[in-house]
Amino acid sequence: MNFRDNSLISVWNKIQRGERLSLDDGLTMYKTRDLLSLGKMAHFVQQQKSGDAVYFVLNQKIEHTNICVLSCKFCDFATKKGRPDAYEMTTVEILSKLTPDIHEVHITGGMPPDWPWERYLDIVRTIHDKFPNTDVKAFTAVEIDFFHKKFKIPIEEVLRQLQEAGLRTMPGGGAEVFSERVRKLLFPQKIGAKGWFQVHKAAHKLGIPTNSTLLYGHIETLEERLMHMIRLREAQDETGGFLTFIPLAFQPGDTGIKPKNQFTSAIDDLKTIAISRLMLDNFPHIKAYWVMLTEEVASVALNFGADDMDGTVGGEKIAHDAGAISPMTLAKDQLVKIIKDAGKIPVERDAYYNPLNLYAENVIGKIPYLNSVPFYSHFEKRQFRMLPVAPRRMGMLSEKGQIDAGLFSLMDFISQEETLEMMGWCIATRDQVKSVMLFSNEGWRDLDGKTIGITDDTATSVILLKVLLEKKYGVRARFERLHAGVNDYTKFDAVLLIGDEALRCNKTGLNGFELVFDLAKEWYDWQKLPFVFAVWAMKKSLDELTKEELKKILSNALAKSEERLASVGELHGRQIGLAAEATREYLEGFNYRLGEREREAMGRFRELIEELEPTKTAKEN
């Protein structure tokens, strides 16, 4: 980094050490004129979290009514019942806006005085019933609080009923800026920070992931923007339930609010994107919401820390009623082009940020866990692009031919041997693993007939669990998939976690579960063999030069990491709460090269799988 503003050097040093940035650091970044260095720092952090991926979703915005009991000064969308511009959509009209290819429907709108509670439930339930593969993201914290007060239902019960109707995630609107000064001046009728956080924390407790926002560019100060981010960061430390942060540039419209400039500048927008990426170190995603930023600024933001472009956003009215100048709908092909032009991988996602399709070539899959760091820490990408993706999802993308190479879950490699060529590297344990853990209220034999929650990330680990249960202990349990992110574990008798989340919970415990079992240790005690969780493989169809280059890159990367294994995972380990010594010990517990013992273990595992359920394929798991 060649800084033009030396005041940024101390911030950069903190970032490299994995230290949390302060309010003063944020002010330093906002005040700098060295915009490019700020962008490079944010891009560095974004690369650690999401590699070359930029996400988008095929979504439809539904604003069911513009009639609202509130009269917020900054809102150009809401109106009162009986006025010529007032409208109310029926459920049938809402359904007419949706198609089966939509992955997410985003529902927000006004708060009319006379709608019954059942009408809201009916909207969510009917969408879920008619379009079961479409995720429903609905109702801001302000709307949830309105339902709670109007219908005299506790917030938790409001959310539970919506969840049962089909609600999957929640938007982050209504946060505006967490400043009582601003709230009293601009939206005194709305809930403040306390109420907003109460709703979102209740949602996270029920296993409903949510988004978060900041409305900036009106009368707020830079300190108020930064304190907003810090409060979100603290809440994320507590619950881990936020999926993304969305800075929303204020659209003045005819609100009567007159900021210094009619619209935020591109520099202010890019600074806010970059600073949010750097301040919100525990948030997985930062969104460049093109509807408010414009297509051009959003494109540049993809190299300033943002890794999400939102989506096609059909039907959005609120921002456009306030004067947003972006196109009303940005088609999928145009989104893909914007992302490619920024040098990134266009990744079509669902509401939970699970990748559904890639629109790029030369993509290398990266397991985003600490155990894989030695392969990727010194990986020279050259012509390749890197996609961090959970093992099971990597297998799904490979099956579509969208991943050229990667560290594949063993089960995915077995199911795709006709198209994948195994390389000489792996993730194998000697005895225990510490990051494939079963948290349980029952001993092994008492799990017969019980329900086990298994995270959506797992592919091989769930089959290993079945083998242990049925072949070692002679019991059968019911398995239920969990999505990535927050979950309500209390309804399960046991929960299988893998990767960094398992490492964290292995250290701190998982609330509600007394027993902890290490699946690799269970396997070793039984078979006296290591266990191979993942193997490096590549498409057989790749040309020979590409194959040889990839092998050379991997060999060099692993050799460099093994020379400094004590430090190579230190930053990653610190981010998940592990001390340097614990990180080193964890990484030293793996074999990264396929040897005779590893191949013998793979053969034995195959035999047990065939004995277990010979008629079922790995795809079903």
The model's pLDDT over 345-404, given as tens digits with 9 standing for 90+, comes to 999 999 899 999 999 999 999 999 999 999 999 999 989 999 999 999 999 999 999 999
> Between these two residues, 594 and 186, which has the higher pLDDT value?
594
CA 398, 404, 408, 414 torsion-angle sign? positive
How many other CB atoms are found less than 10 A from the CB of residue 225? 25
Q: What are phi and psi of 512, to 5 degrees?
A: 100, -10
Contacts for 90 with CB less than 8 Å, ≥ 6 apart: none
Give 493-537 pLDDT, tens digit per residue.
Answer: 999 999 999 999 988 888 889 999 999 999 999 999 999 999 999
Rg (CA), the chain: 25
542-585 tens-digit pLDDT: 999 999 999 999 999 999 999 998 889 998 999 888 999 999 99
| pLDDT tops 70 at residue 12 | yes
Close Cβ partners of 109 (under 8 Å, ≥ 6 residues apart): 62, 63, 64, 65, 66, 143
Rounded mean pLDDT of 465-490?
A: 90
pLDDT tens, 229-287? 999 999 999 999 999 999 998 876 555 555 555 568 999 999 999 999 999 999 999 99
- Reported as a single tens digit per residue, the pLDDT across 84-129 is 888 899 999 999 999 888 899 999 988 888 999 999 999 999 999 9
CA–CA distances in Å: residue 292 to residues 220, 455, 555: 18, 35, 45
CATH placement of domain 19-356: 3.20.20.70
In CATH terms, the fold of domain 436-527 is D-Maltodextrin-Binding Protein; domain 2 (3.40.190)
Residue 76 is predicted with a pLDDT of 62
Residue 143 burial by Cβ neighbours in a 10 Å radius (0-12, 13-18, 19+): buried
Sequence ranges of the domains in the chain: 19-356, 357-430+531-595, 436-527
Q: CA–CA separation, 285 vs 50, rounded Å? A: 8
Q: Which residues contact 158 (CB under 8 A, 6 or more apart)?
A: 144, 147, 148, 151
156 to 145, 201, 566: CA distances (angstroms): 10, 10, 45
Cα dihedral 527, 528, 531, 537 sign? negative
The Cα-based distances of 528 to 253, 377, 598, 600 in angstroms read: 70, 31, 11, 11
Read off the pLDDT of each residue in 598-609 and give the average, rounded to a whole number: 96
Asked if residues 396 and 376 have their Cβ atoms less than 8 Å apart, the reply is: no
Asked if the model's pLDDT at residue 1 lies above 80, the reply is yes
Residue 619 has pLDDT above 50, yes or no: no
Contact 346, 339 (CB under 8 A): yes
Asked if residue 179 lies in contact with residue 224, where contact means CB atoms within 8 angstroms, the answer is yes
- Six-digit token pair at 232? 């979100």
Residue 101 has a pLDDT of: 86
Alpha carbon distance 479, 462 (integer Å):
9
Question: 200-211: per-residue pLDDT in tens?
Answer: 999 999 999 999
Gap between the Cα atoms of 555 and 553, Å rounded: 6
**Is pLDDT above 50 for 315?**
no
> Which residue, 243, 145, 123, is CA-closest to 191?
145
pLDDT at residue 603 tops 90 = yes
End-to-end CA distance of the chain: 46
Where do the H-state alpha helices sit in 221-376?
222-239, 266-279, 290-293, 295-301, 318-321, 332-341, 373-376
Q: In the structure encoding, which two tokens stand for residue 54, read together?
A: 């930029």
Beta strands across the sheet bearing 308-311: 308-311, 53-57, 345-349, 355-358
Strands 531-539 and 285-286 turn out to be: unpaired
The structural architecture, per CATH, of the domain 357-430+531-595 is 3-Layer(aba) Sandwich (3.40)
Whether 326 shows a pLDDT value over 70: the answer reads no
| Of 503 and 79, the one with more pLDDT | 503
Please name the amino acid found at residue 198. Answer: Q
Tokens found for residue 518 = 């290490």
Asked if residue 302 lies in contact with residue 49, where contact means CB atoms within 8 angstroms, the answer is: no
β-pairing, 363-366 with 135-138?
unpaired
Confidence class for position 295, pLDDT limits 50, 70, 90 = confident
Residue 314 pLDDT: 54
Q: Residue 259 and residue 46: Cα distance in Å, rounded?
A: 31
Cβ neighbours of residue 544 under 8 Å, at least 6 residues apart? none
- Rounded to whole angstroms, the Cα distance separating 249 from 247 reads 6
Beta bridge partners of 439: 495, 516
pLDDT value of residue 316: 39
Q: What is the pLDDT of residues 407-423, one digit of tens each?
A: 999 999 999 999 999 99
- According to DSSP H, which parts of 347-432 are helical? 373-376, 391-399, 410-415
Whether 426 shows a pLDDT value over 60: the answer reads yes
Q: Which amino acid does the sequence have at 46?
A: Q
CA nearest 305: which of 21, 107, 554? 21
Whether the pLDDT of residue 66 is over 70: the answer is yes
**386: nearest Cα among 544, 543, 550, 562:** 550
Structure tokens at 130: 């008619």
Residue 421: which H helix or E strand, with range? Answer: strand 420-429
Domains 357-430+531-595 and 436-527 share a fold: yes
